Amino acid sequence: MKRIGITQRVDIAAKTGERRDALDQRWHLFAKELGCLLFPLPNVDASDAEARLTALDLDGLILSGGNSLSYLDPAAPDAAAERDRFEAAAIRFAIDRGIPVLGVCRGMQMLNHYFGGRLHPVRGHVACTHSLDVGEDFAQMIAVPVNSYHDWGIAADGLAEALVPIAQDADKNVEAFIHADLKVAGIMWHPEREAPFRMTDITLVERFLG
């Protein structure tokens, strides 16, 4: 059974101010459909990332959704700089070892940022669905419409040079990409939030983490 690490969002408890790592329980159910064992990763200091990830002996890495990237607005209530630093270290670790990486929503944005791309604000992409223009090679693995829960997007000219778009929305924002050379991919929708889970999403994630 494949061992997949998955990053977690940072939530702040209103009463205590505790910064808590959190993961939607549906991710574990989705991983079960993949035949994978999921390991939630804490947002520890980036200097501890290599030792922790090495000990887990992972076969794949998922960067989950939630939290805005802190460079966009460090004062934003959902910004979590510690998560950004940990995920950057985790991406480096995975790439150095040839471990597949999949970014979902914020995770896709993080990958684009990591490789030198840019984000821009989008409207009308929260708690809705929309269609996509999907590349021929992936048409059978991406069912439309897709769900949408993000305030930031990737314009065509904001995509990092090493990344190849495979799906775009009506405004040409990139909604899915692969890396030209590495085992790295990103999708902007949340496969774990579909009920029931879509077989197309399962097939797509299996391909990316294979």
Tell me phi and psi for residue 32, to 5 degrees: -60, -40
Q: Helix/strand/coil (H, E, C) string of 95-157?
A: HHHCCCEEEECHHHHHHHHHCCCCCEECCCCEEEEECCEECHHHCCCCCCCEEEECCEECCHH
Strand partners, 121: 152
Q: Tell me the C-alpha distance between 131 and 175, whole Å.
A: 10
Which DSSP helix (H) or strand (E) runs through 193? Answer: none
Q: Tell me the C-alpha distance between 177 and 115, whole Å.
A: 12
Both tokens of 65, joined, read: 């959704």
Strand partners, 39: 5
Q: Which positions are annotated as active-site residues?
A: 105, 190, 192
| Cβ partners under 8 Å of residue 2, min gap 6 | 34, 35, 36, 37, 59, 60, 209
